[in-house]
Amino acid sequence: MKSSTTATGASATSRARRSHALGRLLFLGPGLLYLVAFVVVPLGLIVSYTVFRRGRFGGIVYEFTWENFARLDDSLYRDVVLGSLKLAAIATLIALLVGYPTAYLIAQLPKKWKTIALVVIVMPFWTNFLVRIYAWVVLLSGPGLVNSALLDLGLIDKPLELLYNQGTVVTGLVYSYLPLMILPLYAAIEKLDPQLREASANLGAGPVRTFFSVTLPLTLPGVLTGSLFVFVPSFGNFIIPELLGGGRSTMVGNVIRDQFLKARDWPFGATLTLALLVVLIVLLLAQAWSSRRA
């Protein structure tokens, strides 16, 4: 009798576990299906393409080779990657220098004005990305609004060449991704206990020392997160260098696009994509490690 009761209890427990597992599978299923279809499968194709050859007229020839990885050491592509790193780093630094005081000021505003300021910050995201970049082309072109205003004021004799240089590309990157710097910084500054800064001031520290000894170290996770949010899309961007750089500022995103769409060298395009992905994963791991130590 006792053994029969034990068997019945074990069976009920087993059914409960199966029901629980089925419920979890139904709950997680759509998300897992999405990840498999749009992340795992494309990533698997990219990785597999890296070890095959390019066909004579494009496409893939399924002959194993490491040649695509050897081409990464070509000075042409190495310079493009280093140039992309430089432009992305400059854009990130400028975004940080602009974004930190902006986020700090927003955090000091009354609650009503904080909401309004944050809405203004994210408002550009409500407009199409291409439209915003084309707006910069209209503003900075020869007969654009900036040159027209400078000519009307008599400050210049002829239109300035404001477009198609690296400075314009950096300006476009900063403009496009500045909100991604401000929002994490604002969240980090908002969580900062004001009493810590008051204690620092009471102990004789000036505003500068309080900032570098208290405010900046405690908001470092926001700095790292915001920097990563700006650097990653800037590094792989190809629209802004194309429209604002006029093809003179080639970044790694432009090279990858050209390999797939113009040269039809899918294996090497996949190899460049994989290299870019590895760089970004390393940066993500470094940011996670730094955030845990901060």
Ramachandran class of 115: left when φ > 0, alpha when ψ lies in -120 to 50, beta otherwise: alpha
Residues 23 and 126 in one domain: no
**What is the C-alpha to C-alpha distance for residues 214 and 194, in angstroms, rounded to an integer?**
10
**What is the C-alpha to C-alpha distance for residues 146 and 140, in angstroms, rounded to an integer?**
6
Phi, psi torsion values for 206, nearest 5 degrees: -80, 175
Residues 85 and 200 in one domain: yes
| % of the chain exceeding 90 in pLDDT | 28
Residues 145 and 237 in one domain: yes
Q: What is the CATH number of the domain that holds 248?
A: 1.10.3720.10
pLDDT of residue 264: 87
| % of the chain exceeding 70 in pLDDT | 96
**What is the C-alpha to C-alpha distance for residues 82 and 69, in angstroms, rounded to an integer?**
17
| Residue in 181, 173, 176 with CA at minimum distance from that of residue 97 | 181
Residues 210 and 279 in one domain: yes
> What is residue 251's three-state secondary structure?
coil
pTM: 0.81
Residues 232 and 289 in one domain: yes
Residues 23 and 93 in one domain: no
Place of tokens 């900032």: 211
Residues 224 and 148 in one domain: yes
Q: How many domains does the chain have?
A: 2
Q: Please, which residues have CB within 8 angstroms of residue 259's CB and are 6 or more apart in sequence?
A: 265, 266, 268, 269, 272
User: 265 is in which domain, residue-wise?
Assistant: 73-293
For the stretch 64-83, pLDDT in tens is 999 999 988 888 888 888 89
Residues 201 and 286 in one domain: yes
Phi, psi torsion values for 97, nearest 5 degrees: -65, -35
Question: Is the pLDDT at 2 greater than 60, yes or no?
Answer: no
